[in-house]
Amino acid sequence: MAQSGIGKGVNFGHASTFMSASQPVYLDCNATTPLEPAVAVVMRHFFEEEYGNEGSRTHAFGSRAKAAVQKARKQVGELLDAKPEEVIFTSGATESNNLAILGLGNWGRQHGKTHIITTPGQGRI
């Protein structure tokens, strides 16, 4: 069970990811994130037993994968108080940034707001 709070640390079930006051806290969760053990169990099932491309709907592998992604989208939506169709999974930061910026660009053109300000580098602070 994950614990959080100042001085308590966070334990994701793995000794290597335990963080305490005497160890640095990992804050680059956009790059990689400690995985909850319960999530790992579900993901492992789909990595090893019930894998498929959810975009491939012409066979059972794709249909089962699509159902699993829809279930995950619904679960994440419930956590975020969002509709499942508002939850978008991407493969990483570049895809997410491009989706947000390009979507913002389309919205801006429709509303007469065409100035977007970004930084020259991704992931640099």
51 and 74 in a single domain? The answer is yes
Whether the pLDDT of residue 71 is over 90: the answer is yes
pLDDT for res 122: 56
pLDDT digits (tens, 9 = 90+) for 29-47: 767 788 889 989 999 999 9
pTM of the predicted model as reported, rounded to 2 decimal places: 0.61
Q: What's the CA gap between 12 and 32, in Å, rounded?
A: 14
CA 58 to chain CA centroid, nearest Å: 27
CA distance linking residue 91 with residue 14, whole number of Å: 24
Q: Are residues 44 and 75 in the same domain?
A: yes
Look at the chain and report how many structural domains it folds into.
3
45-58 pLDDT per residue, tens: 999 999 898 888 78
pLDDT at 104: 83
Nearest CA among 4, 17, 29, 24 for reference residue 123: 29
- Predicted local confidence at residue 13, as pLDDT: 47
31-34 own/partner pairs: CB under 8 Å, 24+ apart: 31/93, 31/123, 34/10
Examine residue 125 and state whether it is found in any structural domain, yes or no. Answer: no
Give the range of the structural domain holding residue 82, as residue numbers without chain letter. 35-87
Asked if 82 and 41 sit in the same domain, the reply is yes
